[in-house]
């Protein structure tokens, strides 16, 4: 459904995407991860036809540059930075529903489920909403329509914890009908929502892990860790995962396959403290 072949992108002389090839098929839910400036947003913007690029991209068989309008009506998109729209919220909901051939009430219901009380805001310009309010409305617009491709660029970055939880539940409900590409820095949050992780580093794909496929038939992993020095937060984390300290600084525990990605994502926050990590299939 999404086909990216040998795509490169430069801003002036600065190469931001370097020969990216990536196919995303029906049933795939992809976390796009990578550090600041890795190229995630640029790849998404190329995918949506916003930037020109070298190489080939098709979305649902269409070139997003030459069929931008059709591609945009097909993709539910949440941008990282909300557009500076002056349109009042009520009008924006009607407009978005019209463009996406959707029912405005669907957008309203989803937005309100995320905790945004819409009636007092309907006449307020979108640009004057808070960051979290804008994000809730943009999520409502993206999910409140029939689309088989969801592209979400840091969609939960401005949401409070309660709204994040509801958003992830709404997303799971929608995922059966759509492929998803979600860029985020919080792989631990996404781990249960995705079955593939693609990591970008300096515009190149450095990891492409089809998690679910590889985990089939592997019920549990034995994990051994050694840490440089005791750090209370890491000790709490390992205790929470029911690890035991076998010798000072040496920890042992078991991770189920379903939890492997989430565990590694959480552990990566303490990478500087770890001197050895091993995972062995049991
Ligand atoms: N419009 C632009 N003009 C010039 N350079 C740009 C432009 N957009 C992005 N860049 C540069 O491209 C590189 C990749 O940026 P991009 O926004 O794609 O990264 P990202 O992985 O999404 O980062 P973050 O996690 O911080 O959002 C950065 O070095 C950035 O400065």
Assign residue 224 the CATH number of its domain. Answer: 3.30.70
Q: 14: which strand partners?
A: 11
Residues 236, 152 share a domain: no
Residues 245, 132 share a domain: no
Residue with the nearest Cα to atom 29 of ligand 1? 37
Residue with the nearest Cα to atom 19 of ligand 1? 37
Is 41's C-beta closer than 6 angstroms to any atom of ligand 1? yes
Side-chain half-sphere of 193: how many Cα atoms within 13 Å? 28
12 CA closest ligand 1 atom index: 4
- Please tell me the predicted confidence (pLDDT) of residue 122: 95
The answer for residues whose C-beta is within 8 angstroms of residue 178's C-beta and 6 or more apart is 76, 147, 148, 149, 150
Residue with the nearest Cα to atom 18 of ligand 1? 39
Other CB atoms within a 10 A radius of the CB of residue 80 amount to 16
- Please tell me the predicted confidence (pLDDT) of residue 34: 87
- Please tell me the predicted confidence (pLDDT) of residue 215: 47
Residues 225, 202 share a domain: no
Low pLDDT (below 50) residues in the chain: 215
Is 11's C-beta closer than 6 angstroms to any atom of ligand 1? yes
Is 133's C-beta closer than 6 angstroms to any atom of ligand 1? no
- Please tell me the predicted confidence (pLDDT) of residue 75: 92
Is 34's C-beta closer than 6 angstroms to any atom of ligand 1? yes
Q: What is the CATH number of the domain that holds 173?
A: 3.40.50.300
38 CA closest ligand 1 atom index: 21
- Please tell me the predicted confidence (pLDDT) of residue 218: 57
Is 184's C-beta closer than 6 angstroms to any atom of ligand 1? no
Sign for the pseudo-dihedral over CA of 72, 198, 41, 185: positive
CA distance 1 to 230: 47
Residues 162, 91 share a domain: yes
CA distance 276 to 268: 12
CA distance 54 to 6: 8
- Please tell me the predicted confidence (pLDDT) of residue 262: 74
Q: Provide the domain limits for residue 277.
A: 217-281
Provide the number of structural domains found in the chain.
2
Is 76's C-beta closer than 6 angstroms to any atom of ligand 1? no
154 CA closest ligand 1 atom index: 27
Residue with the nearest Cα to atom 31 of ligand 1? 37
The answer for residues whose C-beta is within 8 angstroms of residue 60's C-beta and 6 or more apart is 1, 2, 71, 74, 148, 149
Residues 273, 180 share a domain: no
Residues 229, 162 share a domain: no
Residues 235, 151 share a domain: no
């Amino acid at each position: 459904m999404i086909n990216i072949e040998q795509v490169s992108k430069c801003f002036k002389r600065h190469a931001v995407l370097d020969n990216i090839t990536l196919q995303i098929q029906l049933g795939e839910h992809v976390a796009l991860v990578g550090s600041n400036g890795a190229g995630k947003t640029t790849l998404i913007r190329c995918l949506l036809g916003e930037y020109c690029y070298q190489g080939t991209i098709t979305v649902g068989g269409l070139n997003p540059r030459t069929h931008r309008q059709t591609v945009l009506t097909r993709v539910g998109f949440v941008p990282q930075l909300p557009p500076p729209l002056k349109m009042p919220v009520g009008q924006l909901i009607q407009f978005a529903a019209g463009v996406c051939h959707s029912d405005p009430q669907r957008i309203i219901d989803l937005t309100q489920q995320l905790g945004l009380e819409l009636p007092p805001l309907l006449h307020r310009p979108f640009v004057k909403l808070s960051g979290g309010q804008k994000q809730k409305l943009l999520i409502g617009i993206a999910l409140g329509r029939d689309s088989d491709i969801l592209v979400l660029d840091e969609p939960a970055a401005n949401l409070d914890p309660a709204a994040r939880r509801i958003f992830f539940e709404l997303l799971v409900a929608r995922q059966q009908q759509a492929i998803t590409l979600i860029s985020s820095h919080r792989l631990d949050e996404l781990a249960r929502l995705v079955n593939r992780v693609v990591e970008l580093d300096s515009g190149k794909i450095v990891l492409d892990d089809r998690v679910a496929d590889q985990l089939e038939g592997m019920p549990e992993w034995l994990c051994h860790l050694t840490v440089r020095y005791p750090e209370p937060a890491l000790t709490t984390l390992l205790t929470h995962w029911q690890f035991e300290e076998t010798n000072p600084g040496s920890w042992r525990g078991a991770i189920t396959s379903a939890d492997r990605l989430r565990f590694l994502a959480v552990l990566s926050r303490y990478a500087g403290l770890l001197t050895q990590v091993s995972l062995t299939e049991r």
